[in-house]
Amino acid sequence: MDLSKFEKTFTQLYGKEKLATQYKRFESLVENYKKRIVRKLDNCLKYKINLINADGFGFDTERFPEYSDIMRFICDEARNRGIHISVGGY
């Protein structure tokens, strides 16, 4: 979905203040997800797990705007810990 269309429709329905609130909520969800993944990677390191099977089926940067940034962050964090990520995809 084109983000500008979404913004326009959402703003018409709920107003700009509600849209700003939703953006803040989404940003906090993304940050919490990143923190949770880092904890899981630390657990993998602790228990000497060096391979993780990860999401990749239906990989699409249009899932939501920050999707590719999150995946890049996860790969960097895993690489820093010496953990390989096996990604299936099509």
The HSE-up count of residue 34 (CA atoms within 13 Å, CB side) is 18
Token pair in block for residue 40: 């899981």
Strand partners, 54: 87
Task: Please answer whether residues 15 and 50 qualify as being in contact, where contact means their C-beta atoms are separated by less than 8 angstroms.
Answer: no
The HSE-up count of residue 17 (CA atoms within 13 Å, CB side) is 0
**pLDDT tens, 37-64?**
999 999 999 999 999 988 766 666 667 7
Whole-prediction pTM: 0.69
Angle at 63 between CA 61 and CA 66, to 5 degrees: 65
